[in-house]
Amino acid sequence: MRKLFDETSIKGMLLNNRLVRSATWEGMCAPDGRPTQKLAAYYGTLARGGVGLIISGYAYVRPDGKQLPGQLGVHDDAFAEELAALAGAVHRESGRICLQLVHAGGQTMAKVAGRQPVAPSAVAVDQYPEMPAELSTDDIAALVTCFADGARRAKGAGCDAVQLHAAHGYLINQFLSPLTNRREDAYGGSIENRCRFLMQVYRAIRCVVGKDFPVLVKLNGSDNLPGGLDLDDALVAARLLDEEGVDAIEVTGGTPASGNQTPVRQGIDKREQEAYNLPLAYRMKNAVSCPIMVVGGLRSFEVAEGIIRREEADYVSFARPFIREPHLALRWREGNEVHARCISCNGCFKPGLKEGGIYCVVDKIERESRGVSL
């Protein structure tokens, strides 16, 4: 019987358990995207806490793909030493790190990107802060190269894997979605055409990193948005990736415009509210042969272990619970299977904007009330 703390491997990347720290923005990098010692220490703490795989915060592959202050960048060879420090901090604690690659596309603003945002089509939709410019075919080709260069830098820095962010309304997802992709050329129309950019990026990365280096993809099972990517089309994308040899797919859902079905939902305080993307992940697992990770609202050991035991997914991913409890995996492994302390308030992101790094504000308040320093 499969269990949460099984040792596994993904294309030779040995993992101590089936727990994954899913990517989240940390807000701990320099203005130009250069990683800091603060971020390296943060990843070291996560690795020491026993999580099987750490997926980094989303790292932009070109400056105009940046979305938030303090966001990680992987667009410059000059960051090699600092990127290596991130990997080293994780490896010293016997952990594994996967660098996530992203371009925000239309989901950023000119004041952050340094230019008018770019997207598959120049359309006004709720998830875009302002009107983007439509990408030319030449710029699409240039972006493919930028993703490949980011993967090259990640591998060269000693990271154990890379993950393409093809979800949550960012650029690759914008190509997949008929709501944001209104193109009439080879990149628009049918789902196969809308997958073209994703597949070109994947193939370019595979050419750079080789067949033995793990390449993962984070994919929306649904945009949870009228007119957006739906499950049937997402399954087509998953099968295309599987046929090309992708090493794992992390299944998620939603965009910032998805109402109460966004990627980061609040108020998860009942078990029936947990694992809200599991129906999408289970459908995808039955459609592909590669390992499936599921993220979204997981909070309790029993739910996570049940998913693994019933083979509904191969790995379970968390983000916010590890912000409050970086040693959650170790706690569960040692037999303390109490529900994660995260209350899904999303307050952890505010310090990233105002104080140069995310942390659990509820935990800080509780500690200060007891006279305990962070």
Active site residues: 170
Helix (H, G, I), strand (E, B) or coil at 317: strand
Left (φ > 0), alpha (ψ -120 to 50) or beta: where does 346 sit?
Answer: left
Residue 105, classed as helix, strand or coil, is coil
Q: Both tokens of residue 167?
A: 């979800």
CB contact set of 323 (below 8 Å; sequence gap of 6+): 24, 342, 348, 358, 359, 360
> Residue 351 CB: number of other CB atoms within 10 A?
16
Tell me, what amino acid is at 276?
Y
Tell me which residue has tokens 């390296």.
Answer: 40
Query: How many C-beta atoms surround the C-beta of residue 174 within 10 A?
Result: 32
Q: What is the DSSP letter of 132?
A: P
Q: How far apart are CA 238 and CA 306, in angstroms?
A: 24
Structure tokens at 11: 């294309």
Residue 182 three-state SS: coil
Rg of the chain over Cα atoms, rounded to whole angstroms, equals: 19
337: Cβ contacts below 8 Å, ≥ 6 apart = 301, 302
